[in-house]
Structure 1
Amino acid sequence: MSKPSLAGAILGGKCPQCRQGSMFPVSIFSFRRLIAVNHYCDHCGANFQPEPDFFYGAMYISYAFSVALVISSLVAMNVLFEEPELWMYITTVVVSNLFLFPAMLRYSKILYLYMVGKLKYKGD
């Protein structure tokens, strides 16, 4: 079997250590357990939560995602419309944040674990 790529593992929400086990017990479209993260990898047994409340640090990444989304929405509104009104800005920002919230929440946790989690890839 070929080595799983880093980008593919991040996009798929896979374990940083084996790049095969899933970090999340449910799909991204499951709103019932949106914030749930597996405690251990179901493939290699890596610990996804090295300390209590580990993923609170992912809030900073989620905040950066939100700021980038707001800025890109505002720039897009200025490019697409000659003189957008305030309600158009607010509606665009609120709707885009609500629509992308599950993805931003999930990928902030994935990136935080990959950057800070001290789990290094161990090939086969």
Structure 2
Amino acid sequence: MRPIRAWWLALLAQRCPRCHTGPLFNHSTYNLPHLTDMPESCPVCGQHYEPEPGFYWGAMYISFAFAVPIVLLTGAALYWLFGDPDTWVYVLSVSVIMLLLTPPSFRYARAVMLYAFGGIRFDKRYLEKNTAR
């Protein structure tokens, strides 16, 4: 696996914040029984993924910040496309879209939490070591 140079691309690819190579999660996003499975540390650089116990509780707030625009955009799209449909259409549409987007939202909230508040910085030495392979 090749390292990713830009931090925001590494975040989108859900890679380790220190080496930008190791995966943050063990399984694919929609493998629901294993949605929350993260390795204890990065298999490439050994960076521990949980800086302190209960660290990812803050990811709930980030997940909420992802959900609000999704709900608002869904409601606005329904209003503009269908001319203010019945309330049940709004509720059903938002519910289905949120159910479909909950797994990636959960994972990206954890990734953003680790990148923003984990105190882990990119280390160029791992980039050079992994590109030399």
TM-score, structure 1 length as denominator? Answer: 0.94
Does 1:65 find its partner at 2:60?
no
Secondary structure of 1:48's aligned partner? coil
Superposition CA RMSD, Å? 1.4
Hey, what does 2:97 align to over in structure 1?
A: 96
Counterpart amino acid of residue 78 in structure 1: Y
Counterpart secondary structure, 2:32: coil
C-alpha contact 2:24 2:38 (8 A) present in aligned 1: yes
Q: Which amino acid in 2 is paired with 1:17?
A: R
Cα pair distance change 1:39/1:2, threshold 3 Å: closer
Q: Which residue is equivalent to 1:5?
A: 6
Q: How many residues align?
A: 124
Q: Comparing 71-80 with 2-11, which one deviates more in the overlay? A: 2-11
Query: Alpha-carbon deviation of 1:83?
Result: 2.4
Q: Tell me the residue number matched to 1:30.
A: 31
TM-score (normalizing by structure 2): 0.88
Q: Secondary structure at the match of 2:34?
A: coil
Residue by residue over 1:68-100, the C-alpha shift from the partner in whole angstroms, topping out at 9 and shown as x without a partner, is 111111111111011211011001110000011
> What is the aligned partner in structure 1 of residue 47 from structure 2?
46
Correspondence for 2:83 = 82
In structure 1, stretches of 5+ residues that fail to align are: none
**Which sections of structure 2, spanning at least 5 residues, go unmatched?**
126-133
Cα distance in 2, alignment partners of residues 77 and 45 from structure 1:
46
1:110 aligns with 2:111: yes
Q: Does the 8 A contact of 1:3 with 1:123 survive in 2? A: no
Kindly indicate which of the two structures has a greater share of residues assigned to helix: 2
The runs of 4+ residues in structure 1 deviating greater than 3 Å are none
Alpha-carbon distance between aligned partners in 2 of 1:38 and 1:107, rounded to the nearest angstrom: 16
